[in-house]
Chain A
Amino acid sequence: MTNYGLVIDQERCIGCQACAVSCKQENNVPMGQFWNRVLTEGGDKIDTPSGGYPDDGGSGSLDMQYQPTACQHCENAPCVKVCPVNATYTRDDGIVEIDYDKCIGCRYCMAACPYNARVFNWDEPEHMPEAGTGDVAARPQGVVEKCTFCSHRVDEGLDPACVVNCPADARIFGDLDDEGSTVSKYINEYETDQLLEDRGTNPKTHYISGEMSPGRPQTSDKMESELDDVSPWSDGAEDVPAEASESDSSGSGGSHHSIEGDAAPHVPAVGSGGDD
């Protein structure tokens, strides 16, 4: 069975908010609401570290990290269990989703979610531009909404918008039940945590901290499973941005210094196998 999960490499995350913004754009999230937030671990304000500078006898203990946070798509999802009308449910592929035509707006799921991942449309949702953005229909007033792992994209064999738009390749989406998938391999290889593990929700979002992973190993929009089986990112021309493959085929030895090459820093300049 497919069981989708997400790995977020906090060592790679640069706090640029691209995932938060592309999520909002792709999913037509109303003004005043975010499904995906990039939180700052450190100081009291966004983008501020804790600790002090190492000058004037200061401790030199400056520390800061980013924690992108959205629906964790828990295995033991409290929101699914509390929903009185089955509006929130777990799909066969593990994605926790809401049927916006069923939701009665009781907000019990918001009480149940330990991550505050859910938002409620307190008034008629406002979109900018008015026609809305992205590929998802607007949700009405009076229902709860949240991250769907971009299930509309996943159904078409595409990675979630936050994943493909992460410039640091810090987000890796894939099948947790497939031992060969990058998410499974990273969870085995690296030190990963789930948020609020003690609550027993068993989230399908895993955070890497400590040692940096090689990140998302493909440049395509598509999910890993949709790509060719063997070393897809080195031999499938359609999976590599056209410019990058052109610069590769041009035989320029310094191609990885070019702007095109920098767009995919983990792609080896030579067409050899993968890096993991």
Chain B
Amino acid sequence: MAADTSRIAIPAFGTKGKLWLGLLATVIVAGLAAWGYQLTTGLVATGMRNVFSWGLYIMMFVLFVGLSAGGLIISSAPKFFHSHRYEGFARLGVLVSLACITVAGLLILPDIGRPERLYQFFTSPDFRSPMVWDFGIVILYGVLNLWYLWLLTRRDLAARGSPLALGVDDTDAGRERDRTLMFWTAALALPTAVALHSVTGWIFATQIGRGDWFSPLVAPVFIAKALVSGLGLLLVVSVLADRLTNYEVDREELTSLGKILGVFLALHVVYLLAAERLPHAWANHFEFWAITSGFLIGESVYFWLWTVVGGAVPLVMLMIPSLRKRVSVIFTASLLAVFGTMFEGVRLVFTGYEVANIDLPPGISLGGEYAGITTDIWATAGAYTPTLVEVVVTLGIVAFGALIVTLGLKYVPIQRVDGQYATDGGTKERQ
């Protein structure tokens, strides 16, 4: 096959590209240094203490697990149904998914008090623990993304003589067989994605000790959240890649995915949130307007950032027909959806730790200074502000994810330019 069946988004890094790589490298090095500092001083370098014992790392873990959904689903769902819809997004989507699940997995490392003991997950696992389930599914999902990206691109890599083809030849028979493999990979990817987000939700939803965490709705909400934020991020990245690299986004597909994002937003931020809040508001209040306001009015700034800035505003933008065809509107709405979803995770962790079940004085010993909250070692409620160390470590890991996407655009043929899209397998159907 000819090499022009595929396109590399970044043939070579120009000045801007090199500056971008330099920036990413700087942030990664800064993150590593901050993690090194945190390893020597201990987690006292974070804003976490005994009452509020999970913080930014877990909040961002929740976000990035969700973000890793979009790409894989957008590329595997059409393949599963033998459709060539959204083919232009397929490879980029899996690349973004791979980067996000890598970021999510890495975010756990700085949260662990003794990371050198992580091998205990293999030598002494307790299969009752949702964290063991999640550990397994995150690794499986990461490996699946890596395999899928390679499967989607290996014949094109071979055609280009890239060593990344790992010895695979570019043959017609091989391409034909890969279409079957893609179908079966897609068939595996969809339930794995559902499991990933459900299990991550169950880390919280199984806990009877942390307020609203204990809710059967958490897992479905995590799925909806993943659809919103994952698709949002894919749209953001594809528009950016379209503007900054040789990657070309299909306007029609972009508009169509923008509409789908609107549907996901309506399902997530309007329907599921309402379904979660109404029973509590109804049971806790008596007057009609008290029930109504209990239902509609959130308790914290995170709630508003999530539901209005990250929910209602992008939903309206995507609902108005004259607006939703504009690339700038789709881009802004997607960015807001991702931004808002970040605060959903923030809010989730806060609802678990803000209030102590037993808040009698003097309270709970904090195990370290708790600047700004109390002058002694006791606290009767949780409070949390991330420290600079946490922010820098997190940014370093996110920069590593951005580096994965950037290098993917450089070394992996991220777009097909021929017409043969549809997968084969499952049925004997041919194009």
Contacts and interface: CB of A to CB of B under 8 A. Distances in A.
Interface of A: 30, 32-34, 37, 39-41, 43-46, 48, 67, 69, 78, 81-87, 102-108, 110-116, 118-124, 140-144, 195-196, 199-201
A34 B361 CA distance: 14
Contacts of B363: 37, 39
B368 interface: yes
Interface of B: 41-44, 46, 48-51, 53-54, 108, 111-115, 117-118, 120-121, 124-126, 128-132, 135, 203, 206-210, 352, 356-358, 360-368, 377
- Tell me which of B42, B44, B51 has the highest count of chain A C-beta atoms within 10 A of its own C-beta: B42
A106 B129 CA distance: 12
A32 B366 contact: yes
B118 A200 contact: no
Contacts of B361: 39-40, 43-46, 48
- Secondary structure class of chain B's binding surface, majority of residues: loop
A86 B243 CA distance: 50
Contacts of A105: 43, 112-114, 117
Contacts of A84: 120-121, 125-126, 129, 131-132, 135
Contact of A40 (B128, B206, B360): B360
B352 A87 contact: no
A41 B363 CA distance: 11
A187 to B, nearest CB: 21
Q: Across the A-B interface, give the 10 residue pairs with the lowest CB-CB distance, nearest first.
A: A105-B113, A142-B113, A114-B209, A85-B120, A39-B360, A123-B44, A123-B42, A122-B44, A84-B131, A34-B365
A45 B363 CA distance: 9
11 contacts: A33-B367, A48-B361, A81-B129, A84-B129, A105-B112, A105-B114, A106-B108, A107-B111, A123-B368, A141-B113, A199-B209
A120 B50 contact: yes
Nearest to B203: A108
A104 B113 contact: yes
Given A83-B126, A107-B54, A122-B49, A196 B114 contact: no
B365 A33 contact: yes
A122 B368 contact: yes
A86 B125 contact: yes
Nearest to B380: A44
Contacts of A45: 361-362
B50 A116 contact: yes
B209 A111 contact: yes
Contacts of B208: 78, 114, 199-201
B3 to A, nearest CB: 47
Nearest to A31: B377
Given A108-B129, A200-B208, A120 B365 contact: no
Contacts of B120: 84-85, 87, 102, 104
Contacts of A30: 367
